[in-house]
Amino acid sequence: MTMADLHSLTGAYALHALDEQERGRFERHAADCESCRQEVRELAAAAARLGLAAATVPAPDLKNRVMRRIATVRQEAPRTVPLPRRSWTRGGGTRRLSRWALAACVAAAAGFGGTAVWQHDRAQQARDTARQAEGRTAEPAAVLAAPDARSRTATLAGGARGTVVVSASRDRAVFVASGMAKPPSGKVYQLWFDDAGTMRSAGLMDPHRATEAVLLDGRVDRASGIGITVEPAGGSAKPTSAPVALLSFPT
């Protein structure tokens, strides 16, 4: 991967579209590249705002049609075993060719059966992956696209940026961070709802991601904002450190 390739990954990184190896290479590059860090911050903020700008409701049967297609579309043509061009003869030659032809047919049938099993397994894996992805993204996307979604963006420590998006109708909130410094080893960023000065856990951030969109755990209820603290891996029942950021909810 060339330097030019790394510079071109800012958009994919901001949208969490890189695999683990690519993300690691880009983050090592971005540690010494201010222009890439700035571009990632801007793209992540733009992506959060675009989620609020417009919502497109998919057709009710879209998911069913996609899942049906996954199970029926052939991914790879089956391999066949061609029979040799040989004349049929009487006696032992006929018996030998018949046995060979029978073996070839059995092998071909086994190949077809193996292809069908492979396709079924791949289709099942695709369905399972789709369900998992849907579960991870459906609710955050619904909050970002809600008609009453409101957002507020602030600059965090170290030049990072954070955007909190709240939907009163769904009673949920999403926190979008970009350019977050990695927490110390064995530590994690923990999010908290601010309930009139009492902090209520709202979930953990991925310590390996500098850019991330997190659906806050639990309902917004009467919380006025969120806080971020550095906690031991696995999180804490109550904050054990001073907040590294505080964001009030948009009104």
22 versus 70: the higher-pLDDT residue is 22
Q: pLDDT for 46-84, tens place per residue?
A: 777 665 555 556 777 887 888 888 777 766 665 655 655
Range from 118-127, 196-205, 238-247 carrying the lowest mean pLDDT: 118-127
pLDDT for 238 beyond 90: yes
Mean pLDDT of 7-23: 83
Q: What is the pLDDT of residue 203?
A: 94
* Residue spans per domain, the chain: 3-55+147-248, 62-79+91-144
The fraction of the chain above a pLDDT of 90, given in percent, is 26
Range from 147-151, 218-222, 234-238 carrying the lowest mean pLDDT: 147-151
Cβ atoms 143, 215 nearer than 8 A: yes
CA neighbor of 189 nearest in space, from 158, 232, 139? 232
For residue 56, the Cα-to-chain-centroid distance in whole angstroms is 20
Tokens found for residue 171: 């009673």
List the strands of the sheet with 212-215, edge to edge: 150-155, 161-167, 172-178, 212-215
Cα–Cα distance measured from residue 5 to residue 45, given in angstroms and rounded to the nearest whole number: 22
CA neighbor of 40 nearest in space, from 221, 211, 208, 245? 211
